[in-house]
A and B are shown apart, each in its own frame.
Chain A
């Protein structure tokens, strides 16, 4: 494979959906959603690593693909393919530009080789996703959208400050450099906080998870699918990429963050003790997962050694989380549509409980293996995780309604997993 063409492909992966986002273009093409993802699929299938320097873009930036982000790319391609399939059936072609914009932003974020590129494409993704979030528009969604937007702007601000600090400290903003240099700098604590705050807003980490729960309350199926897969996962991905983790011992900071993660999970547990609409479950799941993730990060910060031990697992972990959240969200989003008859409204929660139990059990056992391995040093939080899932299960009494959807979802999960491993 010619290296140049490979490098150009990196650019095309991002530029192609952007180009397609122009209505005049995508309205004339068949299957525009799928078409837009195709370069990414090709990129994922191709073996090897590549990078592309773009010195004229902004202050000079670039794209790269390596073992790390291939995982995430794989996950995203899977999610977006699902999403494209759903989106194809949506008559609302008004959402298509936003779909493509978000897609482009997402791919750009994944492939970006430095902070600036990441930041720029996360803006595409963030604002594009706003369109997806609310295009079906009722008042409830708008409220969620407003919350989302506020958090997005705040997140971008915080990240911008972090970015400025980084740019002030160093010349080259490539991720590998950042990790080394920002750990040294005098303002590294501030930088870390800004990054954490920024991505906390983006991801909906507790205690700034409000937009997430509001969003899950009443969005469309498509969005339910993407909610976990795009903003949440990309936030987790970002925080790993941006943080100077594993270089330096930030004992106090790390511990504080650990505590935060634990508290987040505790919060979810407590929250689930209360009656809660079914549609919010993915939101809680997401919050819990991100709490878990944060706790892990805190560990990484306070114990770099542990981080180095498990560093290679973090990207696959994120990829799997993404698939999990996406599918979970999608499934729950699917539910009300199939069960729209008034008689069943009351039993909706029970109906749902059943599937949740079924596939959560599968995912859980898998995740447990992974997580427990990762979290072995972190007994307390691990116990919390277990407890959390137990809580969920205890709360969900099995009902008697079976649904054929579970197989499809399982298939998707399997597909996602397969793709993710392929990419790895």
Chain B
């Protein structure tokens, strides 16, 4: 065993160990807990950076652990893995800072941060998984680790949301397990391979493969909130804001979308999947989800609910990009994995800030809030424009490649879907911005907390501003080396052009 083997494991351990230690900490060991959290997050970032650098130097990172004969846990750092793992590592650091600020003084913090770290551990595991079974293992761990976070507040609403979340995800997990095992009985391997590993499977099994595809997509679709499996997501917004950020941008929803990307690219392979005729329906499903999510978002007064439906819609961009079955759309889909994360986490941070600082939970309470909290709302504006797909925010880049990819693949209808979605996005985000910036603020906010001269606590303000800047940078500097777009291009090349 050398460093190349251990590095993926270390990346996982860098959040697992702090998490486990935090579980054991007494509630009042605030400093130690913060230190553990931050050290873990920074160490992870450094390790991921090391891995990125190493991979760009041509090193190969892989770790294997035999579960059963023929069934291995594999952690491997491929381009797609690295894209997701970098996203998670970066956003985890930001979210940790935010969560520390957000939960200051609230009860059960050891429990919260313990599960928080576990959640990220699972996400990183999902990212680095080198085969479907490893993916499944971490995917289920993710379900278990997020549940306590969703119900963290302990209210009746939280319990119900948690219950809904569980019903959906456990069902999804069961479908996934079924699909995975079935696939294994047909192929005898589950190793993620660029362009898939199914081309050897005989013609007579193609029908079974279609059903397996459906099972896998349904399993991942639950977390990716594909209509009609999205019901848990809007309910889960009762969770504290950092958790929402985690759910929507870093971990859960992303893991689902990432799973679909994996299934289409590395299990079935783009060519094989389109040969089976399954990508078309998937694209349609994604399209329906995009439109449906936006339509529902339009009518939500609760800010976080509106954002949640927006996630339903946006995450399907990724799936749409994958399902269009062309290299350029693939770039759009994959890059949106990162872009959506950056933008949506910004929005949720801001929503959390509004709730924490002024007690604002509803869109209708947001009049003039931009004057009270300009930095927060500036970040929010960036995120919102990104969601609409207006330049120069990152969402523009995603939409650009999606649209171009659709044209290239000769699927013009996708353009209409994209246009419709942008329109709807504008319809539910622009009124918020209008209210926040141009309406007169009310005489008193619902529940104002005093933060002195600053608009809110620094730990709450910094994260959204940073992520908003990242979203801007990802759009502005899309063609710079190491930008998400460049990585996505690399991945697309690997899937489509390499022999």
Contact = CB atoms under 8 A, between A and B. Distances in A.
B494 interface: no
Contacts of A134: 434, 438
Contacts of A23: 374
Interface stretch (B39-47, B198-206, B401-409): B401-409
Interface in B433-492: 434, 437-440, 475-480
A135 B438 contact: yes
Contacts of B385: 127
Nearest to A168: B407
Contacts of A119: 391
B184 interface: no
Nearest to A122: B391
Contacts of B298: none
B172 to A, nearest CB: 34
Interface in A357-416: none
Q: Which of A57, A120, A164, A165 has the most chain B CB atoms inside 10 A of its CB? A: A164
Interface string B379-410: 00000010011111000110110011001100
Contacts of B399: 160
Given A120-B391, A137-B439, A60 B374 contact: no
Contacts, number: 78
A359 to B, nearest CB: 34
Nearest to B388: A153
B13 interface: no
A157 B396 CA distance: 11
A187 to B, nearest CB: 9
Contacts of B392: 58, 120, 123-124
Nearest to B402: A164
B390 A58 contact: no
Interface string B165-176: 000000000000
Interface of B: 371, 374, 385, 388-392, 396-397, 399-400, 403-404, 407-408, 415, 419, 422-423, 426, 430, 434, 437-440, 475-480
A58 B475 contact: yes
| Chain A to chain B: the 5 pairs with minimum beta-carbon distance, closest first | A120-B391, A164-B403, A168-B407, A153-B426, A56-B480
A30 interface: no
B479 A123 contact: no
Contacts of B400: 59, 163-164, 167
Interface residues of A, number: 32
Contacts of B423: 153-154, 157
A164 B478 contact: no
Nearest to B476: A57
A350 interface: no
B479 A55 contact: yes
B430 A153 contact: yes
A160 B480 CA distance: 23
A409 to B, nearest CB: 30
A94 interface: yes
Interface in A228-275: none
Interface string A118-159: 011001100100010011010000100100010001101100
Contact of A58 (B422, B439, B440, B476): B476
Contacts of B439: 137
B419 A157 contact: yes
Nearest to B483: A56
A161 interface: yes
Contacts of A116: 391
A141 to B, nearest CB: 9
User: Which of A119, A157, A160 has most chain B Cβ within 10 Å?
Assistant: A160
A407 B391 CA distance: 42
Given A123-B390, A127-B390, A157-B419, A94 B479 contact: no
7 contacts: A57-B477, A58-B397, A59-B479, A127-B385, A131-B437, A157-B423, A163-B400
Interface string A157-189: 100110111011000000000000000000000
Contacts of A156: 390
Nearest to B381: A127
A146 B479 CA distance: 35
B407 A164 contact: yes
Contacts of A153: 388, 422-423, 426, 430
A160 B476 contact: no
A335 to B, nearest CB: 25
Nearest to A156: B390
Contacts of B438: 131, 134-135, 137, 142, 145
Contacts of A163: 400
B391 A167 contact: no
B422 A157 contact: yes
A23 B480 CA distance: 29
A59 B335 CA distance: 14
A85 B396 CA distance: 35
A119 B404 CA distance: 16
B391 A164 contact: no
Given A153-B426, A153-B430, A58 B479 contact: yes
Interface string A17-56: 0000001000000000000000000000000000000011
B245 to A, nearest CB: 25
A56 B440 CA distance: 40
B419 A168 contact: no
B338 to A, nearest CB: 16
